Amino acid sequence: MAATEGGFHTLKAPIYDFSGQVVLVTGASSGMGLATAIAFAQAGAKVALADVKITAVEVIVAELVSAGHRAIAVGCDVSDDAQVSAMVERTVAEFGGPDVAFNNAGVMAQVALTADSTREEWDRVTGINLRGVWNYMRYELRQMQRQGGGAIVNNASVGALTGNPGIGAYIASKHGVVGLTQTAALEYVGHGIRINAVNPGVVDTQIARDVVKGDDQAYAEMVKQVPIRRAGRPEEIASAVLWLCSPGASYVIGQAITIDGGMTVP
């Protein structure tokens, strides 16, 4: 955790105050989820870190608690309705929230052309990336309505803005996340709930390396295509999420903020 915290500090990000707020982060065992959970904890929030990899988040939570933060670990398979419901209930029982949610858990599709892909792979990817986000929001929104408001950020992708041969299920799921975000944002803005999304580009996470099947040379070539000439850091996505959940973004509704080092500039 220390290395991640150090990386976050080097960004010289704005100082946000989430004291007294409860934050739920899914896919919190690594990458963007982990960086965002740490950033919220540093900003004073009580944080529930949820992931199917429960042992990993338990280790992270132990480090956060030893550093003086309030955090809990929650095991959750996001494609399972009962587990998602239990995740939100556990957060409410422990901390009384959530006031903020970062719906981040996601997977990459196995590379295959559309005609060669399988129903099982389609269901796996869309079940986590899209149905999972829909599932989170159903339970988060009910709780936020009871509380009188909140903020949700869904993790989409630059893949929501274009096509990408070989990973059709992933691309379709991320397009769906943006459409779902926009629709829910309009439905619940009158309830004091702001819903937005982020579209990360190439970020140095395992899911980015999965795109090239762990081939370091192919990964380096992919990074070279980014105009800024490097991959993004998970902490840079965390900074955007915190802003979207802060009072500074109070007029931002139903947007998908692209954070990609210039990849999608026309």
Q: Which residue has the tokens 């869904």?
A: 154
Q: Across the chain, which distance is largest between two alpha carbons, in Å?
A: 52
Catalytic annotation, pick one of 170, 188, 219, 251: 170
Phi, psi of 74 (to 5 degrees): -130, 125
For residue 172 the two structure tokens come to 């379709």
Contact 174, 129 (CB under 8 A): yes
Q: Which amino acid is at 4?
A: T
Sheet with 71-75: list strands edge to edge.
Answer: 71-75, 46-51, 22-26, 100-103, 150-155, 193-200, 256-259
- Residue whose C-alpha is closest to residue 240's, from 57, 28, 8: 8
Q: Is 188 tagged catalytic?
A: no
CB atoms inside a 10 Å sphere around CB 33: 29
Burial status of residue 109 (CB atoms within 10 A of its CB: 0-12, 13-18, 19 or more): buried
Please list the active-site residues.
Answer: 170
